[in-house]
Amino acid sequence: MIVTLTANPSLDRTIELGTRLARGEVQRAIASGDQPGGKGVNVSRALIASGLDTIAILPGAASDPMLVALRAEHTPAASLPIAGRVRSNVTITEPDGTTTKINEPGPLLSAADDNALIALVAAHARGADWLVLAGSLPPGLSSDFYARVVTAVRSEGSGPRIAVDSSGEPMKALIASGVGVDLIKPNSEELAELTALPDTFEEDPDAAAAAARTLVARGCRAVLATLGAQGALLVTADATWRATMPPVIARSTVGAGDASLAGYLLADQHGATPARRLAQAVAHGAAAASLPGSTMPSPADTTPELAEVRRLSDLSNAD
């Protein structure tokens, strides 16, 4: 079982244009659609498409359109009733794959909501294989929220392995807290933010690997760094791997990073080596980018056998 927490989920509306976006002009869409979203929710959706057991934890009333959409997609969810409504995000995609997102801030959560959400996560994390903490935080939750979730889950005894995919102050606070997690999944921009280095990592994967190793030294047991069209890195204390995929025609990059994390977890659950976990991660990410909106791929949509995986460093005899 893989449990995901999305503290600031969203009902994502994707508008697909047939021409380039023209600011200030009237344009007609060629397609549009609504899908439940948010990083953790997307991971759960991808895991379900892969046949794995998962449950998505999120704040939201049972009647909220977000929860209604999850039920329509048969995505198992445990929700914390709140007074506000789950936010709506708008994504505009252009024919060349350029994606523009407009994200709302999300509903205001109270101190009682904060405590109840942590308790809900801790209860569902008991006996799980992985807990995924993903996405931004809504108004009302302090930047140390993820660190407090990890502490609460670990206080229950032998808990699940924990993966985190976030950014900004919540991610900085988590790493600074020293609680230590099993995996983080930054993209190039987030990796630069966490290491206070220039964001040149898509052009210089070796620099990205060096930056990721500083995060391993600070207590992150593994770093899965996604670098867009340049593939991804997996960095541990023992070795570093890089994987790339053949180019794809991108329709929407929304959720591609979430799909990459889901692919990694899928391969891990099947007992794959680090190299094959990374191969499945980049295959899932590439497949998601080729699909419309925030559609999550199934394994049948992916081609991990086409991934080129190289071991960049070898500091032990680990496979």
Note the pLDDT of residue 315: 45
* Domain membership flag for residue 319: no
Gap between the Cα atoms of 80 and 59, Å rounded: 4
The percentage of residues in the chain with a pLDDT greater than 70, rounded to a whole number, is 97
The total domain count for the chain is: 1
Gap between the Cα atoms of 100 and 93, Å rounded: 6
Range of the domain at 113: 2-22+30-314
* Domain membership flag for residue 151: yes
The reply to whether the predicted model has a pTM over 0.85 is yes
For the stretch 188-206, pLDDT in tens is: 999 999 999 999 999 899 9
Gap between the Cα atoms of 243 and 205, Å rounded: 11
Which of 2, 221, 40 shows the shortest CA–CA distance to 127? 2
Residue 236 dihedral angles phi and psi, to the nearest 5° = -125, 180
Gap between the Cα atoms of 195 and 193, Å rounded: 6
Gap between the Cα atoms of 14 and 255, Å rounded: 12
Respond yes or no: is residue 258 known to be catalytic: yes
* Cα distance between the two ends of the chain: 25
* Domain membership flag for residue 294: yes
pLDDT of 208 > 90? The answer is: yes
DSSP 99-138: EEEE----PPPPHHHHHHHHHHHHHHHTT-SEEEEES---
Q: Residues 171, 133: contact at Cβ < 8 Å?
A: no
* Domain membership flag for residue 54: yes
CA angle, residues 35, 164, 251, in degrees to nearest 5: 35
The CATH code of the domain that includes 230 is: 3.40.1190.20
pLDDT of 233 > 50? The answer is: yes
Q: What burial letters (b/e) apply to 56-92, b meaning 16+ CB within 10 Å?
A: bbbbbbeebebbebbeebebebebbebebbbbbbebb
For the stretch 299-308, pLDDT in tens is: 999 999 999 9
* Domain membership flag for residue 270: yes
For the stretch 100-137, pLDDT in tens is: 989 999 999 999 999 999 999 999 999 999 999 999 99
The residue from 114, 165, 258, 268 that is catalytic is 258
For the stretch 49-59, pLDDT in tens is: 999 999 999 99
Note the pLDDT of residue 313: 63
What is the pLDDT averaged over residues 210-230? Answer: 95
